[in-house]
Amino acid sequence: MDSSLVTLILLSLFLGCGCWLFFIWAVKKGEFDDIERPKHRMLEDDKNEHDQNR
């Protein structure tokens, strides 16, 4: 019981650390510098580029 608990806690910490490192990478890369623009960028349908590509 005791050891299984410790194992699970360690596992959760391990998984959590992965997310934490991902977060730090994102901050360093500047993903949080402009949090307004991407949500609009997503919605832009680039009709022209499609036409050009076709």
Partner 1 sequence: MTCFHCGITIPKGMLVTEQRNDETLEFCCKGCRGAYLLIIGAGFGDFYRRRDWQEPGFGEQAFQTAFHDPYLLRFVYQYGDLSAVDIIIDGIRCATCVWLNEKIIGQLPGVREVRVNYATSRARVVFEQAEITPAAIFSRIGELGYLPRPYTRSAAEESATREKKDLLIRFGTAFFLTMQLMAYSFALYAGYFQGIGAGIKFSLQIFSCLVTTPVIFYSGWPFLRGAWRGIINRAPNMELLIAIGALSSYIYSIYATFMGGEVYYETAAMIITLILAGRLLENVARRQAAVGVERLLNLTAGEARRFTGDELETVDVAELSAGDLLLVGPGERFPVDGRLVEGTTDVDESPATGESLPISKNRGDHLIAGSINLTGTVRVICDKPAAESFIARVARLVEEAQSRRAPIQGLADRASAFFVPAVLLLSTVTFFWQYSMAAGQLGTALMTALAVVVIACPCALGLATPTAILAGTGAAAASGVIFKGGDILERLSRISVAVFDKTGTITYGKPVVVEICPAAGVDPIEVIALAAAVEKGSLHPIGRALCDYAFVNDIPATAGEQLKTVAGGGVTGIVQNEPVAVGSARFLAGLGVTGIPGCVDFTPGTTVVCIARSGFWMATVVLRDRMQDSAPPLIAYFRKSGIRSLLLSGDRLETVQHTAGFLGISDGIGEISPAGKAGYIEGLRNKGETVLMVGDGINDAPALSAADVGCAVAGGTDIALETSDLVLVKPDLERLVFAHRMARRTMSVVKQNLVWAFIYNLVGIPLAMTGRLTPVYAAAAMTLSSICVIGNSLRITRYKHG
Greatest alpha-carbon span in the chain: 63
Rounded CA gap, 26 and 5, in Å?
A: 31
Q: Does 32 bind partner 1 (CB under 8 A)?
A: yes
Angle formed at CA 17 by CA 15 and CA 19, multiple of 5 degrees = 80
Applying CB under 8 A, among 33, 50, 53, 54 the residue interacting with partner 1 is 33
Rounded CA gap, 35 and 24, in Å?
A: 16
For partner 1, what does the binding mask look like between residues 10 and 29, x meaning CB under 8 A?
--xx--x--xx--xx--xx-
Q: Residues interacting with partner 1, by CB under 8 A?
A: 1-2, 5-6, 9, 12-13, 16, 19-20, 23-24, 27-28, 32-37, 40-41, 44, 47-48
